[in-house]
Amino acid sequence: RHALEEFLAAACTLSERCVIVTNSVRPWVHTCVRRFVPSILAMLEREGPADPDEEEPRLSVVYAREIAASKSRRCSRESHVRAVLHETRCADELTEMLTKAKRIAMKHVAKTFYSKYPGQTWKNILSIGDMEYEHMALQEVTFRRVAPARENLRTKALT
């Protein structure tokens, strides 16, 4: 618990924005934090939609399958990822779906963060996760990015 508190505090101090991108279903992260590490609740944003007048929190939670489902409804070229929980899928299909959901959510978070002013370039993205698809999703975000020549995007995925 103490190590997690220290890690998140350091990450939030060193970065303008830290995001937990999860393939779990809302409100899993907040439920786990309340049960196992309630001391970091204050670091997380509220579960509901953010108040537009509030400053963006440094640590927030993004539910990847929600983002992927909303993007697929709006943009058929991105994916046909559905936030269906009880479908029977083989392991490869599940990995593909979870990778795609993470990729779409990671791209959304990075694009939102790095669009504060015109011409802003992407700089650093760090992904820490326990599954290979987190690494694959970050690679896909990087490889698919059409970036200006002056951009020097650095990524690191720890699994």
- Least Cα distance to 17 among 112, 148, 150, 88 occurs for 112
Whether the model clears a pTM of 0.75, i.e. scores above it, the answer is: yes
Is there a contact between 102 and 140 (Cβ–Cβ < 8 Å)?
no
Predicted local confidence at residue 16, as pLDDT: 84
How many independent structural domains does the chain possess? Answer: 1
Predicted local confidence at residue 78, as pLDDT: 41
Above pLDDT 70, what percent of the chain? 81
Predicted local confidence at residue 147, as pLDDT: 86
Residue range of the domain that includes 126: 2-158
> How confident is the prediction along the chain (159 residues), in pLDDT tens digits per residue?
899 999 998 998 888 889 999 999 999 999 999 999 999 988 886 544 444 455 566 789 999 999 988 877 655 444 444 444 445 568 888 889 999 999 999 999 999 999 988 888 999 999 998 898 899 999 999 999 988 888 889 999 898
Predicted local confidence at residue 109, as pLDDT: 93
